[in-house]
């Protein structure tokens, strides 16, 4: 397969800033080398300006483009710009990369032509030349989820800001106590609020604030459709609603928490478990006393599940007794992630689970739908109660949200990962309490 370009230097090299460009947007825009376009399996798309000659792509938090999907390897691909061309390398990933529908060999640089399309799991990417009209990237490091994340895109004086709509009520204004802070003195301190009503998002101006500019109208509220744009104060401060934000900024620092380095040099057998006689002790309630055994075989490692209660997962897959490992593999035991490197492991503790349910429906017949476009968000350490009269659908909703009896339509994600497609990965994080006591009610406390 020949993936080479038919012409040369199709992407933009760095050049000096144009003094005519607004200074608020000059820096990142004019340093853009290429525009990375993504097309999602569910139909959405987005773009991100690449400003560095080397871009790493994968699931780990230290990548430049983080793909939050268990089918993506920790360090999956490397995209580089050299000699007037774009080059793509598969970094030895588990599930590979295709270019124009053809798999590429691992650890080999492949030249990408101007119309080349490369696919990593369900993410389809293209590159295009940057243009002067392109906005700067939302951040140097961004993430993509395998499921849509609704939100607002703010265009403020030539800058692009993205804000996920992850709660039922979002406040907007220039004051720092808002959920969405618009860094512009012309915006009132507390201008508007966005509410989730059913499956629709509504923006409404506060009583003491001016209205919202929609076209040439100035209503007090507006029901969002995908792509709708409203303005605050004047047209230079615009908010666009998107059913999915696509690329989202990642704050500095790793998102998996601080790593603990474990040295494996000189060790051929490494026991992993909760008991103190293990070489790697993981004090977690989901970890068995003697959970797993890590064995060195020459230059390779193999992990064995010692009949643990919660199993061993490698790159998101539950292993059957044992599995061979390669560098970069992610091992999950209970709530702990272990990442294998040459002669060592990096240990990360899970810092909480976030659950997002979007547009759940439960059709039991052509005419009966028990769940009608239910959406909700539960953040880590939040306590949420489902309250309703008998027959209201509490159990139906609960079973749809926890994946025990999935909804017929809609999506449920845990930390951005599809729950229904990866149920085994999270089943040990869930507990179930029956509605009715299962003990003998006639027993006394004596």
Residue 439 lies in a domain: no
The C-alpha atoms of residue 233 and residue 220 are separated, in whole angstroms, by 13
Residues 136, 160 within the same domain = no
416 contact partners, CB below 8 Å, separation of at least 6: 68, 145, 146, 147, 149, 354, 356
What pTM, to 2 d.p., does this model score?
A: 0.57
* pLDDT value, residue 134: 66
Residue 254 lies in a domain: no
Residues 361, 415 within the same domain = yes
* pLDDT value, residue 28: 39
- β-strand pairing of 269-273 with 280-281: parallel
Residues 225, 281 within the same domain = no
Hey, is 164 helix, strand or coil?
Answer: strand
Q: Residue 106: name the closest of 119, 116, 95 by CA.
A: 95
Residue 108, token pair as written in the block:
């080999």
In contact, 221 and 202? CB cutoff 8 Å? yes
- β-strand pairing of 322-325 with 300-305: antiparallel
In contact, 342 and 348? CB cutoff 8 Å? no
Q: Show which of 219, 249, 279 is a domain's final residue.
A: 249
Residues 286, 382 within the same domain = no
Query: How many independent structural domains does the chain possess?
Result: 4
Residue 210 lies in a domain: yes
Residues 35, 81 within the same domain = yes
* pLDDT value, residue 13: 44
Residue 442 lies in a domain: no
Nearest-Å Rg of the Cα atoms of the chain is 25
* pLDDT value, residue 98: 97
Residues 175, 122 within the same domain = no
In contact, 163 and 154? CB cutoff 8 Å? yes
Q: Residue 361: name the closest of 406, 418, 420 by CA.
A: 406
Q: Show which of 145, 163, 188 is a domain's final residue.
A: 145
Residue 436 lies in a domain: no
Q: Residue 357: name the closest of 207, 194, 149, 192 by CA.
A: 149
Residue 3 lies in a domain: no
Hey, is 7 helix, strand or coil?
Answer: coil
The C-alpha atoms of residue 38 and residue 115 are separated, in whole angstroms, by 13
* pLDDT value, residue 136: 65
Residues 331, 373 within the same domain = no
Q: Show which of 145, 175, 194 is a domain's final residue.
A: 145
Residue 119 lies in a domain: yes
The C-alpha atoms of residue 266 and residue 307 are separated, in whole angstroms, by 26
* pLDDT value, residue 27: 36
Residue 441 lies in a domain: no
What CATH number is attached to the domain comprising 300? 2.60.200.20
**Separation of CA 383 from chain center:** 23
Range of the domain at 399: 355-429
Residues 313, 419 within the same domain = no
The C-alpha atoms of residue 77 and residue 126 are separated, in whole angstroms, by 14
The C-alpha atoms of residue 75 and residue 412 are separated, in whole angstroms, by 26
- Parts of the chain with a pLDDT under 50: 1-10, 12-30, 252-257
Other C-beta atoms lying within 10 Å of the C-beta of residue 408: 13
Residues 295, 373 within the same domain = no
Residues 79, 165 within the same domain = no
Residues 295, 238 within the same domain = no
HSE (CB half, 13 Å, CA atoms) of 183? 7
Residues 62, 103 within the same domain = yes
């Amino acid at each position: 397969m020949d993936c080479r370009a038919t012409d040369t230097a199709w992407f933009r090299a760095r050049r000096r800033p144009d003094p005519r460009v607004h200074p608020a947007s000059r820096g990142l825009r004019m340093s853009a080398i290429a525009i990375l376009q993504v097309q999602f399996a569910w139909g959405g798309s987005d773009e991100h300006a690449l400003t560095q000659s080397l871009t790493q792509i994968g699931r780990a938090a230290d990548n430049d483009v983080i793909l939050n999907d268990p089918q993506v390897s920790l360090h999956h691909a490397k995209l580089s710009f050299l000699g007037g061309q774009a080059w793509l390398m598969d970094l030895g990933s588990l599930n590979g990369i295709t270019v124009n529908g053809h798999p590429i060999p691992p650890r080999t640089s492949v030249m990408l032509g101007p119309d080349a399309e490369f696919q990593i799991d369900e993410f389809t990417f293209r590159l295009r030349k940057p243009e002067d009209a392109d906005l700067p990237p939302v951040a140097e490091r961004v993430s993509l989820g395998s499921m849509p994340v609704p939100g607002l895109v703010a265009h403020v004086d030539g800058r692009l800001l993205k804000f996920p709509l992850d709660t039922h009520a979002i406040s907007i204004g220039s004051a720092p106590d808002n959920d969405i802070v618009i860094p512009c003195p012309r915006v009132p301190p507390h201008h508007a609020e966005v509410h989730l009503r059913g499956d629709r998002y509504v923006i409404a101006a506060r009583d003491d604030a001016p209205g919202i500019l929609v076209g040439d109208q100035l209503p007090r509220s507006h029901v969002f459709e995908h792509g709708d744009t409203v303005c605050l104060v004047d047209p230079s401060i615009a908010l666009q609603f998107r059913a999915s934000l696509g690329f989202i900024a990642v704050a500095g620092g790793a998102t998996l928490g601080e790593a603990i380095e474990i040295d494996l040099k000189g060790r051929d057998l490494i026991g992993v478990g909760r008991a103190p006689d293990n070489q790697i002790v993981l004090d977690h309630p989901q970890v068995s006393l003697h959970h797993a055994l890590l064995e060195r075989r020459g230059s390779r490692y193999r992990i064995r599940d010692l009949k643990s209660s919660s199993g061993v997962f490698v790159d998101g897959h539950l292993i059957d007794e044992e599995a061979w490992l390669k560098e970069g593999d992610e091992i999950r035991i209970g709530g702990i992630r272990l990442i294998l490197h040459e002669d060592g492991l990096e240990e990360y503790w899970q810092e909480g689970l976030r659950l997002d349910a979007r547009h759940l429906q439960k059709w039991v017949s052509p005419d009966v739908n028990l769940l009608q476009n239910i959406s909700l968000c539960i953040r880590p350490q939040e306590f949420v109660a489902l309250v309703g009269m008998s027959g209201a659908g509490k159990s139906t909703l609960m079973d749809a949200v926890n994946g025990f009896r999935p909804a017929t339509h809609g999506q449920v994600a845990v930390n951005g990962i599809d729950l229904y497609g990866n149920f085994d990965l999270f089943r040990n994080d869930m507990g179930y309490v029956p509605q009715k006591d299962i003990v003998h009610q006639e027993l006394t406390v004596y």
